Amino acid sequence: MSMNNRILVIEDDKAIGNLIKMTLSTQGYEYDIAIDGKSALQKVLSMPPDVIILDLGLPDMDGIEVINKIRGWSQTPIIIVSARGEEHDKIHALDAGADDYVTKPFSVDELLARIRVALRRVKKDSLLDMELPIFTNGNLKIDYLANTVFIRGEEVHLTPIEYKLLVVLAKHVGKVLTHNFLLKEVWQQVLPSDVPSLRVFMATLRKKIEENPANPKYIQTHVRVGYRMLRYEEE
């Protein structure tokens, strides 16, 4: 949920590049730098950033061309940084698909504010084309957005680990998940000593979501292997 935002800086001037780099890292953003148009396009493709900061004066390519190419397949916000204050450039860049424009010499704080505006927008857009974030299986519902779980219409409160465990099972309904896999997913590591602990969590989870925990309907045990969630029709 709390992955850092990635920002791609396309800038050939080392001094300015460093300034931006330092600024971004103090704010906790992840960043990547490209020093020409060609490598920039590759990076946009291979590791899509959340925001792009683009210097118009690149050595190998016209800035407008870079925007056009990126806009060919990506809607990532682009903030232009340019030494030339000429109207002409600004307007062309904006019409080509850039979202914003900052003129050198620019204030670091202003650039940060404009990045925040762009990120605000990214977040909104990404919610739109997401699938419905509600999982349903029989009488069980998981609302991934709200982080809530319902059983027979009633909300049940799960602790963080219980919730994570249930989500992992739900994401793989019908599949048998090994102890190792579950431990890795939930605790991000595997210590053999953790298997007993996994059992404890299964017990509390079942107590909360199963009508009869001794005869579990949703979470099935596979001896010596792991657990799986069974898939049921809607009702």
Partner DNA sequence: ATTCAATCTTAATACTGTCTTAATGCTAGT
Partner DNA sequence: ACTAGCATTAAGACAGTATTAAGATTGAAT
Name the site residues for DNA (rule: CB under 7 A).
157, 159-162, 179, 187, 193-197, 199-204, 206-207, 213-214, 221-226
Nearest approach, Cβ of residue 36 and its own copies (Å)? 26
Nearest approach, Cβ of residue 32 and DNA (Å)? 30
Nearest approach, Cβ of residue 124 and DNA (Å)? 25
In one-letter notation, the amino acid at residue 141 is K
Structure tokens at 204: 């509390």
Neighbours of 81 (CB within 10 A): 24
Q: Per CB under 8 A, does 175 bind its own copies? A: yes
Q: Which does 197 bind (CB under 5 to 8 A by kind): DNA, its own copies, none?
A: DNA
Widest CA span in the chain: 74
Query: What are the residues whose beta carbons fall under 8 Å from the beta carbon of 197, sequence distance 6 or more?
Result: none
Q: Per CB under 8 A, does 22 bind its own copies? A: no
Q: Per CB under 8 A, does 148 bind its own copies? A: yes
Q: Which does 25 bind (CB under 5 to 8 A by kind): DNA, its own copies, none?
A: none
For residue 153, what is the DSSP state? T
Selected from 14, 116, 152, 199, the binder of its own copies by CB under 8 A is 116
What part of residues 36-65 is at the interface with its own copies (CB under 8 A)? none
CA–CA dist 159, 201 (Å, integer) = 10
Q: What are the counts of helices (DSSP H) followed by strands (DSSP E) for the chain?
A: 8, 12
Q: Which does 107 bind (CB under 5 to 8 A by kind): its own copies, DNA, none?
A: its own copies
Regarding beta strands 51-55 and 134-137, do their DSSP bridges make them parallel or antiparallel, or are they unpaired? Answer: unpaired
Q: Per CB under 8 A, does 124 bind its own copies? A: yes
CA–CA dist 191, 186 (Å, integer) = 12
CA–CA dist 199, 179 (Å, integer) = 10
**From 12-20, 45-53, 94-102, 207-215, span contacting its own copies (CB under 8 A):** 94-102
Beta carbons of 218 and 224 less than 8 angstroms apart: no
**Residue 201 DSSP SS3:** helix
Which positions touch its own copies (CB under 8 A)? 1-2, 27-28, 75, 87, 90-91, 94-95, 98-100, 107, 109-110, 112-114, 116-117, 121, 124-125, 127-128, 145-148, 159-160, 174-176, 178, 180-181, 188-190, 222-225, 228
